[in-house]
């Protein structure tokens, strides 16, 4: 029996192992040092007190598919010419096929001051400690609530917005919305890359009177003074914007940079633009894990160099890569992995039986459940070309226009998806 070695026991690694074992064609080993596995998509709800954090965590042992040889170690070096992986303790593990899925690395050092500031005071992140996010939101008494997106790729690119919409809803219910300015600062020039979804989100932003700051690249966080420092990446003079002229307030009239402007305290220093906040939620910068970046398997940007349709490594044909660590030009989500796993499994089976891979390919499918308030959600589903591709099965739930806010989609997010994840997807079922 051929031996498949999987690196990483996250969403991608566990689902791949479970599906491979169903076929009974392979011996499967999995390298994973962690004690716990997390259902990260529910962290958005945890940050808004709509889900219990403990329910997002299960012991690795309890979800490891039966029959997997679990090696509780870090992978450290690749020797693809010899078909071996070296672990942190120096053990060499050989394989016939290798599947690489170690996820993404959170790197707070890429923004000055962030390592010191994050998860303290009023600076929070659903990516690192969603329970602390809820603490910050719960204790907010009005002022400027700043939500921000980093310049690097991140897992679930929509998550920094979702918590903002939930926080807005909470502030409204608490009666402090009238004393609050909500700002979304993003390095991008649009709210979302899929047109019908962007149209709905702009309606939400108008309804909630959110100030969106485009072309804002976060470079520094001063947690003590409560200032987030940005480089504005679009020339503010183009379009008659006076964004940098007034030092105390922000009078930008160019809505491609400052949409729905709000009067908040701004400081300008050394070409940087400082937004004063009373709470800050951010997605920290993220990169490929170090051992991938430093390996022969990575591309110039550090991600796993795989073919975007077959998920086979560009150079080493018995290696596949998927999940957040792979160089795939689509949103890094568990939903994307759901469609990637069957392609990897099919290709491994074909390679082992027929020495050639399948003609079935991955089209870049990913999805982002954009929660827009308690009890409301829009479901963005799309492919490599940013086409909106709603799942026909949604009709069975009586959802016929998932690009619009719907209460049934909230039920999908809060109840159905976690159930399907733990009970079907991690067990190797194709849902």
Ligand X SMILES: Cc1cc2nc3c(=O)[nH]c(=O)nc-3n(C[C@H](O)[C@H](O)[C@H](O)COP(=O)(O)OP(=O)(O)OC[C@H]3O[C@@H](n4cnc5c(N)ncnc54)[C@H](O)[C@@H]3O)c2cc1C
Contacting positions for ligand X (CB under 6 A) = 7-13, 31-34, 40-41, 43-44, 74-75, 101-103, 126-127, 155-156, 159, 289, 291, 323-324, 332-335, 337, 369
Q: Which two tokens stand for residue 411?
A: 């039920």
Which CB sits closer to ligand X, 130 or 261?
130
Sole residue written with tokens 């909106």: 388
Q: Nearest-CA neighbor of 218 among 193, 173, 262, 188?
A: 188
Number of Cβ within 10 Å of residue 269's Cβ equals 11
User: What does the alpha-carbon distance between residue 313 and residue 298 come to, in Å, rounded to a whole number?
Assistant: 9
Which CB sits closer to ligand X, 101 or 327?
101
Catalytic, out of 124, 241, 252, 368: 368
Output helix, strand, coil percentages for the chain, rounded to the nearest 5.
Answer: 30, 25, 45
Give the nearest distance from C-beta 207 to ligand X in angstroms.
22
User: What does the alpha-carbon distance between residue 413 and residue 425 come to, in Å, rounded to a whole number?
Assistant: 15
Which CB sits closer to ligand X, 285 or 334?
334
Reduced to 3 states (helix: H, G, I; strand: E, B; else coil), residue 110 is helix
User: What does the alpha-carbon distance between residue 106 and residue 284 come to, in Å, rounded to a whole number?
Assistant: 6
Which CB sits closer to ligand X, 126 or 161?
126
Q: Nearest residue by C-beta to ligand X?
A: 10
Number of Cβ within 10 Å of residue 52's Cβ equals 12
* CA distances from residue 373 to 32, 204, 369, 417 in whole angstroms, order as listed: 36, 10, 12, 18
Give the nearest distance from C-beta 17 to ligand X in angstroms.
11
What number of CA atoms fall less than 13 Å from residue 86's CA on the CB side?
A: 12
Let me know: does 7 contact 291? Beta carbons within 8 Å.
no
Distance from the Cα of residue 67 to its chain's centroid:
30
**Active-site residue, 124 included:** no
**Active-site residue, 252 included:** no
H or E element in which residue 2 lies? strand 2-7
Give the nearest distance from C-beta 354 to ligand X in angstroms.
28
User: What does the alpha-carbon distance between residue 373 and residue 242 come to, in Å, rounded to a whole number?
Assistant: 33
Which CB sits closer to ligand X, 10 or 302?
10
Give the nearest distance from C-beta 8 to ligand X in angstroms.
3
Reduced to 3 states (helix: H, G, I; strand: E, B; else coil), residue 22 is helix
H or E element in which residue 185 lies? strand 180-185
Which CB sits closer to ligand X, 336 or 351?
336
Number of Cβ within 10 Å of residue 349's Cβ equals 18
Q: Nearest-CA neighbor of 43 among 170, 129, 152, 167?
A: 129
Reduced to 3 states (helix: H, G, I; strand: E, B; else coil), residue 139 is helix
Which CB sits closer to ligand X, 251 or 294?
294
Catalytic residues: 156, 368
């Amino acid at each position: 029996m051929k031996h498949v070695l999987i690196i990483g026991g996250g969403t991608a690694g566990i689902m791949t192992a479970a599906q491979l074992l169903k076929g009974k064609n392979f011996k499967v080993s999995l390298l994973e040092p962690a004690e716990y596995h997390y259902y990260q998509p529910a962290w958005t709800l945890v940050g808004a007190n709509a889900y219990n954090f403990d329910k997002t965590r299960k012991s690795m042992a309890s979800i490891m598919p039966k029959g997997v040889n679990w090696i509780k170690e870090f992978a450290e070096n690749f020797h693809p010419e010899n078909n071996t992986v070296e672990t942190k303790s120096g053990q060499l593990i050989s394989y016939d096929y290798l599947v690489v899925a170690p996820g993404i690395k959170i790197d707070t050092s890429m923004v000055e001051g962030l390592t010191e500031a994050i998860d303290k005071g009023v600076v929070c992140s659903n990516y690192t400690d969603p329970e602390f996010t809820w603490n910050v939101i719960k204790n907010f008494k009005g002022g400027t609530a700043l939500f921000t997106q980093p310049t690097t790729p991140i897992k679930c690119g929509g998550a920094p917005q979702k918590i903002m919409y939930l926080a807005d809803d909470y502030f409204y219910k608490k009666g402090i919305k009238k004393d609050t300015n909500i700002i979304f600062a993003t390095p991008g020039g649009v709210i979302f890359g899929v047109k019908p979804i962007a149209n709905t989100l702009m309606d939400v932003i108008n309804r909630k009177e959110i100030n969106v700051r485009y072309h804002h690249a976060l470079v520094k966080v001063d947690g003590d003074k409560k200032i987030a420092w940005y480089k504005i990446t679009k020339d503010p003079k183009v379009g008659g914007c006076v964004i940098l002229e007034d030092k105390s307030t922000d009078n930008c009239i160019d809505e491609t940079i400052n949409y729905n402007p709000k009067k908040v305290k701004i400081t300008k220093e050394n070409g940087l633009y400082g937004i004063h906040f009373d709470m800050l939620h951010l997605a920290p910068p993220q990169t490929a894990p170090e051992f991938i970046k430093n390996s022969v398997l990575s591309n110039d940007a550090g991600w796993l160099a795989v073919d975007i349709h077959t998920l086979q490594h560009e150079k080493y044909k018995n290696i596949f890569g998927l999940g957040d660590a792979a160089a795939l030009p689509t949103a890094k989500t568990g939903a994307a992995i759901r469609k990637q796993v069957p392609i990897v499994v099919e290709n491994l089976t074909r390679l082992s039986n027929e020495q050639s891979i399948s003609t079935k390919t991955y089209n870049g499918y990913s999805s982002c459940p954009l929660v827009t308030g308690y009890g409301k959600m829009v479901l963005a589903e799309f492919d490599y070309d940013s086409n909106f591709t709603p799942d026909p099965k949604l009709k069975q739930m009586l959802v016929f226009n998932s690009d619009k806010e719907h209460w049934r989609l909230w039920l999908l997010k809060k109840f159905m998806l976690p159930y399907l994840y733990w009970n079907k997807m991690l067990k190797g079922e194709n849902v």
